[in-house]
Structure 1
Amino acid sequence: MNQPKSFPFSRRQVLRGLLATAAFGATAKLGTGCTPQEPRSGGTGDEFVIGFIYVGPRDDFGYNQAHAEGAAAIAQLPGIKIVEQASVPETTEVEEAMRSMIELDGAKALFPTSFGYFDPHILKIAQEFPEVQFFHAGGLYQEGETPRNIGSYFGYIDEAQYIAGMVAAYTTQTGRLGFVGAKPIPQLLRNVNSFTLGARTVAPDITTRLILTGDWSLPVKEAEAVNSMVDQGIDVITCHVDSPKIVIETAERRGVFSSGYHANQAALAPRGFLTGAEWDWTTVYTQYAQQLQEGKTLMNGDIPHIVRGGLEAGFWKLSPFGAAVSDEAKQAAEAVKAEFAQGSKRIYQGPLRNNQGQEIIAAGQSYEQTAVELETMNWLVEGVDGRLES
């Protein structure tokens, strides 16, 4: 018996097609004198609709979960309606998701959260819908080049990684740390470098082995990287991938320590989990939602095109310390955390060399967290054993 064919169209795509057909039919009947229909606002008509798009599942113990938790917080605000779509690849599929949220759900602001959504997809759709505001995590806004309805937000989570590196240094018995990464974008390199610099304040000869997998979610390669590290004598492992779940669980099975990222993974490694660098998007998203409700826009300059902040602005938090963390490590970590809370701590100070022996910051000089040099980082600090390609 022949099986009925299935068609690769989503419900949103079908609805958009039906709406387009209906609109064409109405135009044909009414002639050219009709007035185009206004985009619907969603909900009861007085709700402000905000869309969130994730590259993976919302319960991934990682990047997507952290953003989804932030979205859930503002969904509780009166007058705000949230629409979400998960597991959307960094392809033209995200363009379809954005169009659908705008045309079907009436979204007036979108948070497409994954790094690869920005160029070319957000840039394209932002020009197609100039009245809609787009906010991207980590995108580099360039005045005069980036469309005015695009904003960029990100946090200095490398502050938390710096502290996690300190805790790792207090805990390691081999002096060898491991970092599993996806792609060598500036944000990832900044995390690797800060983790290493924090560790080397405790033990100057400590090293961090970096292995890049090549993409944000490659569970098999992530597990292979952890196993390779353990086989080399590395006994504390952290990561920057979309979901740290595989990295943390594999480290636990191999009997080594782990440090988390994005969200709290303590439940995955009850014996070896030390702490972690967690995003806290609640404050950021709440501020955006309130500004949008007040009628402020990126286009008018009421909302900044570039928003950045560290602990003092509520962008990150440390995961609770695990059972293996010593009192000495906790006290040292809390002391540096207090400096970050005050905005007085600088991670990148000279003299500092890269892992090729070249000077990148001269003695007596330093970079503030806001320095553009850190936003465009393309080097690894001394102590990192790795390359800028997978």
Structure 2
Amino acid sequence: MRFGKRRAAVLLTALALAAAGCSSAASQNDDAGAGSTVPGKDSKAVGFIFVGPKDDYGYNQAAFQGSEEIKKAFPDLEVITAENVPEDDNAARVMNSMIQKGAKIIFATSYGHLDAALKVAEEHPDVVVVQQGNVIADGKVTANTGTYFGTVYEPVYLAGIAAGLTTKTNKLGYVYAFPIPQTIANINAFELGAKSVNPEAKTYTVNTSNWCDPAKQAQATQSLLSQGVDVITQHQDCTGTVIKTTEAAGAFTVGYHADASELAPKGWLTGSEWNWGPLYTDIVKTALAGEFTGSKYNANYRVGYKNGENPFIQSEFGPAVSAEAKAAIEQAKTAISAADGSPFVGPVTDQDGTVQIPAGTVPDYATLDGIDFFVDGVIGELPKS
């Protein structure tokens, strides 16, 4: 799967369409009066579908923890969850089952759930269906659909600083699943963070073509270790295998998605973990108030350090992280949170030495949602489509 620069342009078009569509939908609701159907407003339940298990020390565990926060915030609502929901027609079947049980708000939490989510939303215009991490484009944004995500690459950049100042071999490792823009941005941010404090640092990549395959993860990790890599991170849904394998080899770990520091008491450096509770709560609150149509969630909603709402937070530091690294990370966080700051402020060159982001340019979230190249210092080729 390859995403080109066209993706960023499509996203910008989608956002413009969404803005126009939201304004129109809001006007229609105003004209319809009290008898109109407002998406999500009459919900008796909220549904969450997860592509994996809720205890994977990773992506699905973080999303499940966010759903638990909905129970606390809205005790009168039933929270319905479903684990191990494939990214195919089964997802639509599970979501329809939740709707039959009274759900008027559905969270489809995996990247590949988008098509099923759009199908369900089209069939049930009174149900708010939000999808985690993807982009709704080509005029498909409607009054009851939206996507949301955080700027994952920001805390990953900071974790790269910890890795760059800890490595002894200057070889860092990245186990990833698919070459989607989020993954590519994370790998690049990790390398750029490491290189900002250690120009000799290189990031070696291994692709598993699977969100959660422990056997492939163990093989990928061993491959990196055999090349002299001494700090390993990942973009996988379930993270336990990579962390345990790295810890057993006496190497260092950078976590992802959820706090898994207990799996690496010696080698844990830091990580990036989701705190979905506040964002999930705000989305549900917006839908129940009948304000989803025309709201900030009725399109492709992204939040980050710049607006102080990034649901991705930095994990606690492990014992191997130096005072120097902690200070450098704090300084970098302040810099990338500024209006003119970004892990990707130009110049940024790709593996071939071509300038992809010119000097002084601060790319916006839409542009980075379409990133399709590895930066200089990343070792490995992107799989061809």
User: What is the TM-score when the length of structure 1 is the normalising length?
Assistant: 0.84
The amino acid of 1:307's aligned partner reads: Y
The amino acid of 2:83's aligned partner reads: A
Which residue of the other structure, out of 53, 60, 81, is the alignment partner of 1:84? Answer: 81
Q: Measure the CA separation in 2 of the matches of 1:373 and 1:184.
A: 16
More contact order relative to length (CA 8 Å, sep ≥ 6): 2
Q: Kindly indicate whether residue 54 of structure 2 is the aligned counterpart of residue 58 of structure 1.
A: yes
Aligned residue in 1 for 2:7 = none
Q: What CA deviation, in whole Å up to 9, does each residue of 1:65-121 have, x standing for no partner?
A: 111111111111233321100111112111110110011x11001001011111x21
Q: Kindly indicate whether residue 371 of structure 2 is the aligned counterpart of residue 377 of structure 1.
A: yes
Paired residues of 1:123 and 1:147 also in contact (CA < 8 A): no
Q: Kindly indicate whether residue 322 of structure 2 is the aligned counterpart of residue 316 of structure 1.
A: no
Aligned residue in 2 for 1:336 = 332
Paired residues of 2:50 and 2:82 also in contact (CA < 8 A): yes
Query: CA 1:269 to 1:301, structure 2 compared with 1: closer, same or farther past 3 Å?
Result: closer
Paired residues of 2:152 and 2:182 also in contact (CA < 8 A): no
Give the deviation of 1:340 after TM superposition: 4.3
Give the deviation of 1:376 after TM superposition: 0.8
Paired residues of 2:173 and 2:204 also in contact (CA < 8 A): yes
Give the deviation of 1:304 after TM superposition: 3.4
Give the deviation of 1:218 after TM superposition: 1.2
The 10-residue stretch of structure 1 (342-351 or 310-319) with the greater mean CA deviation from structure 2: 342-351
Q: Measure the CA separation in 2 of the matches of 1:46 and 1:204.
A: 56
Aligned residue in 2 for 1:7 = none
Give the deviation of 1:344 after TM superposition: 5.1
Which residue of the other structure, out of 216, 219, 222, is the alignment partner of 2:217? Answer: 222
Aligned residue in 1 for 2:226 = 231
Aligned positions of 1:202-213 closer than 5 A: 202-213=197-208
Which residue of the other structure, out of 152, 155, 164, is the alignment partner of 1:157? Answer: 152
Give the deviation of 1:179 after TM superposition: 0.2
Aligned positions of 1:284-303 closer than 5 A: 284-298=279-293, 300-301=294-295, 303=297
The 10-residue stretch of structure 1 (262-271 or 279-288) with the greater mean CA deviation from structure 2: 279-288
Q: Kindly indicate whether residue 381 of structure 2 is the aligned counterpart of residue 387 of structure 1.
A: yes
Aligned residue in 1 for 2:346 = 350
Query: CA 1:243 to 1:153, structure 2 compared with 1: closer, same or farther past 3 Å?
Result: same
Aligned residue in 2 for 1:39 = none
Paired residues of 2:43 and 2:104 also in contact (CA < 8 A): no
Q: Secondary structure at the match of 1:52?
A: strand
Paired residues of 1:213 and 1:221 also in contact (CA < 8 A): yes
Paired residues of 1:236 and 1:258 also in contact (CA < 8 A): yes
**Residue correspondences, number:** 344
Q: Kindly indicate whether residue 127 of structure 2 is the aligned counterpart of residue 132 of structure 1.
A: yes
The amino acid of 1:140's aligned partner reads: V
Structure 1, unpaired ranges of 5+: 1-44
Q: Secondary structure at the match of 1:377?
A: coil
Give the deviation of 1:323 after TM superposition: 0.6
Paired residues of 2:43 and 2:105 also in contact (CA < 8 A): no
Q: Measure the CA separation in 2 of the matches of 1:387 and 1:356.
A: 11
Q: Kindly indicate whether residue 71 of structure 2 is the aligned counterpart of residue 75 of structure 1.
A: yes
Identity of aligned residues (%): 39
Q: What CA deviation, in whole Å up to 9, does each residue of 1:139-186 have, x standing for no partner?
A: 212262334321010000210000000000110000010000000000
Paired residues of 1:48 and 1:293 also in contact (CA < 8 A): no
The amino acid of 2:122's aligned partner reads: Q
Give the deviation of 1:222 after TM superposition: 0.7
Q: Measure the CA separation in 1 of the matches of 2:103 and 2:371.
A: 34
Q: Secondary structure at the match of 2:119?
A: helix
The amino acid of 2:372's aligned partner reads: N
Q: Measure the CA separation in 2 of the matches of 1:135 and 1:46.
A: 16
Aligned residue in 2 for 1:361 = 357
Q: Kindly indicate whether residue 301 of structure 2 is the aligned counterpart of residue 307 of structure 1.
A: yes
Query: CA 1:193 to 1:303, structure 2 compared with 1: closer, same or farther past 3 Å?
Result: closer
Q: Measure the CA separation in 2 of the matches of 1:308 and 1:378.
A: 19
Structure 2, unpaired ranges of 5+: 1-40
Paired residues of 1:153 and 1:308 also in contact (CA < 8 A): yes
Q: Measure the CA separation in 2 of the matches of 1:191 and 1:284.
A: 21
Q: CA RMSD in A?
A: 2.1
Q: Measure the CA separation in 2 of the matches of 1:77 and 1:192.
A: 35
The amino acid of 2:198's aligned partner reads: A
The amino acid of 2:359's aligned partner reads: A
The amino acid of 1:95's aligned partner reads: A
Q: Measure the CA separation in 2 of the matches of 1:185 and 1:121.
A: 19
Q: Secondary structure at the match of 2:103?
A: coil
Aligned residue in 2 for 1:41 = none
Which residue of the other structure, out of 198, 219, 243, is the alignment partner of 1:248? Answer: 243
Q: Measure the CA separation in 1 of the matches of 2:382 and 2:204.
A: 12
Aligned residue in 2 for 1:107 = 103
